[in-house]
Amino acid sequence: MPDCNKNFESEIKEGKNLRNVKCKYCSSLILTPSTGTFTSFEFNLPLMKQSKVNDSNPDTENVSLFWAVNEMYTFQNVGFSNTVGDNKYLTCADCEAGPIGFHDIPSKKSYVALSRVQHV
């Protein structure tokens, strides 16, 4: 799993994100400190870049470390994709890099993948 290669322990304080969560590409602010709750489960998240020959069946990777956000207006800046199944994918609001995580429509919770953002 891509997010197992990196140790994120120092980013967690009392179960929340210690630092700002920003876009890796344009540094747009996504979450301020202590607004995401550390959560771990496995999810198949599509890769940001997809080969053009493979439109209907996107390449994914298994991601397991997330900042859970209960209410969407907790985000400073974020984009929500159109609906796919029960989910909407999360993107950077400024450069639209993504998915940086996903939104679960039934529970209204959002999950930001630690490996797809930077902590500064």
Partner 1 sequence: MAKKTYDLLFKLLLIGDSGVGKTCILFRFSDDAFTTTFISTIGIDFKIKTVELGGKKIKLQIWDTAGQERFHTITTSYYRGAMGIMLVYDITNEKSFENIVKWLRNIDEHANEDVEKMILGNKCDMSDKRTVSKERGETIAREHGIRFMETSAKANINIERAFSELAGAILEKTAGREPGDPADRVYVDRRQQPSTTKSCCN
Q: 15: which DSSP letter?
A: T
Asked if residue 99 has a cis previous peptide bond (ω within 30° of 0), the answer is yes
Give the interface size with partner 1 as a residue count (CB under 8 A). Answer: 40
- Which of 2-10, 98-106, 111-119 is the region at the interface with partner 1 (rule: CB under 8 A)? 98-106
Closest to partner 1 by CB, 49 or 120? 49
Q: What mask of x and - would describe binding to partner 1 in positions 50 to 89, judged by CB under 8 A?
A: xxx--x--x-----------xxxxxxxxxxxxxxx---xx
**Residues between 34 and 53 with contacts to partner 1, criterion CB under 8 A:** 35, 46-52
92 binds partner 1 (CB under 8 A): yes
Handedness of CA 60, 48, 78, 96 (dihedral sign): negative
Neighbours of 46 (CB within 10 A): 15
Q: Rounded to an integer, what distance in angstroms lies between the CA atom of residue 115 and that of residue 101?
A: 10
Under the binding rule (CB under 8 A), the answer on residue 104 touching partner 1 is no
Task: Tell the smallest beta-carbon distance from residue 41 to partner 1 (Å).
Answer: 21
> In a 3-state reduction of DSSP, which class is residue 106?
coil
CA distances from 93 to 10, 39, 74, 99, 107 (A): 26, 23, 14, 11, 22
Span 2-21, contacts to partner 1 by CB under 8 A: none
In the complex, the residues that contact partner 1 under the rule CB under 8 A are: 25-26, 29, 35, 46-52, 55, 58, 70-84, 88-89, 91-99, 105
